Amino acid sequence: MAFVVSSGELAVTGAGVTPGYAAMPLPAAPWEYETIWRTQPQVRTVIGFLARNIAQLGIHTFRRVSDTDRERLTDHALPRLLAEPMPGMTQYRFVERIVSDVALYDDWYGIKLKLNGQLRILPVPPSLIRPYGGNWIRPEYYETAGGRDFGVDEVIHVHGYSPDNLSVGSSPIESLRELLLESSEAAKQRAQMWRSGARLTGVLVRPADAPEWGPKDKARFREMWRSFASGGGAEGGTPLLEDGMDYKPVGFNPEQAQYIEARKLTREEVSAAYFIPPPLIGILDHATYSNIKEQHAHLYQDTLGPWMVMLQQEIAGQILPDLPGSNTDVYCEFNIDSKLRGSFEEQAVAASTATGRPWMTVNETRARNNLPSIEGGDSLITPMNVTEGGLASPRDTAPEPEALPKARGLALVKSGRPAELGTVVGARAALETSLVRFTERAAGKLLTAAGAKADGMPDLLALWAAGSEDRIAQLSALLADHGYQLAQLGAWEVLEVHNPDAENWSAEVMLAWILAAAQTHAEQHEDAGLMAVTRVQEAGGDGWRESLRGASDAWVSAAVTRAATASTELRSFGGHDAASASGLLKKIWRTGGRNPRPSHKAQDGEAVSLDDVFSNGLRWPGDGSGKTAELVNCNCTLDYAKED
């Protein structure tokens, strides 16, 4: 390979020596592209979007050890070169210039230098260098504005597609030239309008029966109008029209010209030429939270993905072979992992669910918050209420990842002590009130939709199905919100007796299980309403409206029962979770309520080990894995003891 050997003097490239270079017979007109970039905000916005988003990623270098193993290289010549391609140049600026030049010119040039024995890369603006001679496959050499020629092996040339040769690219700006010219002319017209006091051109019309003007009258009026028009209306005041004269505008007014729409269309066309979704560059006409979020995920796959693959391969093909040392199986990749990951909350839940235990050490967490490490903070502490596969593990029934966003927007009750959380009685009442009100609103919407139909009974099942998904999502969120509070209150009933310092216990660990339980209760409550509506649909008849109102009332009553059942389960789970974390080994069933079912009354005082089930098959009162007959309206509780 060939290099330009220099002791630090870079003027040999001709950089900055531009007089007369523009007159050279270049294959394109790069100085025009520079003008377009400087004067067209749409082009600058789109190219800047591409360059900034790719440059911020950073490039990591790896060695392929085997098909299943990779080694990150930090002391290799390639990562050192990319970290500082030239003295004082950062990797961000280097990548930003490559992407900007390729996006604007479809060409990027870098000259290989050896400074003090080390390979360096000098980016050269495409307006100062060009391929010369040769054929359509390969140029003979590269010529610079300063008259210095460089061999093909001395230049790194990254370019795009051209239909007639393999040695240069064809700028996307060429396909946008007419559109940008139209936008430029419209901008000039707008500027002219504002210089004229925001007045459009027009003519003065004088009635045919107006008295004849003499030379002095014409000169006087002409001078008055010239004084008015010369200052755009600002210096000449208000013109006085005589003898019934009228002003007739000629040309487009701003509304007819659709200036704003035209500018927006130009930006849309430019973004389309570079394959960028319009909402990502500020065109929000059809943007929603969900589609912007999805487009952000696609950005690093469909929009920027081809750019990154191209640059990775160009680095491997044109730079890596010139570096010293062993380059076998060495490659580089842009670091897009941080951009494609979910939020920290989603990552934490997924990682904890996958491992079945906490996945960060104390010092790792402190480092994320810019805090110094502490002694003993490098070991992975596993709270006792997180097991790798036991019966009571919150991860055993963790929700699927797609279910988590439904509860992410909640203002969940924060973890705290009972004084901050309230009382169990208050929390149960709050859940019942919220669930009943929700059910009443949902039933009312169904009655309204059914009553708005034409005579005759509508398809009630179709009306029900239309809102089912939204109802379940809202129900899950409501139940998770109240459930987190109830589970914590149940936990503190045990902690205050056996473990006041809450050692080895974490409230947040319960959240995944609570979300799954909330989803189950929401689906069961939805099924109760569906069964009631189905009975009305199947019965039919002229009295369907009264039957539907009765079904709605029954669903509201079911909400009271559902709230009691869910409250018992969540409170019991919280206590069981705290008992496991506190090292308790035995649990005792305590029958509660005014009219307990016979099976529960019979097992009052029954004791089993913490990981075992009671004679009715339940792990705790309200256990959702048990039979429905054992769960509904259960008000029993558990006591715990250390001895088995």
Distance CA 435, CA 373 (A): 46
Among 99-113, 200-214, 299-313, name the most confident range. Answer: 99-113
Distance CA 515, CA 348 (A): 15
pLDDT value at residue 184:
64
Phi/psi at 612 (5° precision): -95, 175
Q: Tell me: the pLDDT tens digits for 501-521?
A: 888 888 888 888 888 889 988
The stretch 540-546 carries a mean pLDDT of 82
Q: Tell me: the pLDDT tens digits for 556-592?
A: 888 888 888 888 889 889 989 888 888 888 988 888 7
Q: What is the average pLDDT score of the chain?
A: 78
Q: Tell me: the pLDDT tens digits for 85-120?
A: 999 999 999 999 999 999 999 999 999 999 888 999
**What are the extents of the domains in the chain?**
4-168, 341-382, 391-583
| CA torsion, ordered 97, 100, 105, 111, to nearest 10 deg | 10
Q: What is the pTM of this model?
A: 0.49
Phi/psi at 231 (5° precision): -105, 20
**3-class DSSP string for 123-185:** EECHHHEEEECCCCCCCCEEEECCCCEECHHHEEEEECCCCCCCCCCCCCHHHHHHHHHHHHH
Q: Which residues pair with 640 in a beta bridge?
A: 587
Q: Which residue has the higher pLDDT, 344 or 226?
A: 226
Q: Tell me: the pLDDT tens digits for 351-370?
A: 655 555 566 788 887 887 77
Banded pLDDT at 289 (limits 50, 70, 90): low
pLDDT value at residue 396:
43
pLDDT beyond 70 at 537: yes
Q: Tell me: the pLDDT tens digits for 309-319?
A: 999 999 999 99
pLDDT value at residue 25:
39
